[in-house]
Amino acid sequence: MIIKTADFICSNTQVSKLPPPVKPEYAFIGRSNVGKSSLINMLVGKKGLAKTSQTPGKTQLINHFLINENWYLVDLPGYGYARISKSKKEDWDKFIRNYLNKRESLQCVMVLIDSRLEPQKIDLEFCNMLGEKGLPFVLVFTKADKQSSIKTDQNVAKFRKALLASFEEVPDIFITSSEEGTGKEDILNFVHGINQN
Shortest CB 174 distance to ligand GTP, Å: 12
Please tell me whether residue 33 binds Mg ion under the rule CB under 5 A. Answer: no
| Minimum distance, C-beta of residue 136 to Mg ion, in the bound complex (Å) | 22
Instruction: Using the minimum distance from each CB to ligand GTP, give the nearer residue, 47 or 161.
Output: 47
Burial of 89 (0-12, 13-18, 19+ CB in 10 A): middle
Query: Closest Cα to residue 112, out of 185, 48, 167, 178?
Result: 178
CA atoms within 13 A on the CB side of 57: 9
Closest separation in Å from C-beta 150 to ligand GTP: 17
Nearest to 140 by CA among 24, 66, 40, 56: 40
Give the nearer residue to ligand GTP in terms of CB position, either 152 or 178. 178
Helix or strand or coil: residue 188? helix
**59 in contact with Mg ion (CB under 5 A):** yes
Give residues in contact with ligand GTP (CB under 6 A).
32-38, 52-54, 56-59, 77-78, 142-143, 145-146, 177-179
Which residues make up the interface to Mg ion (CB under 5 A)? 36-37, 58-59
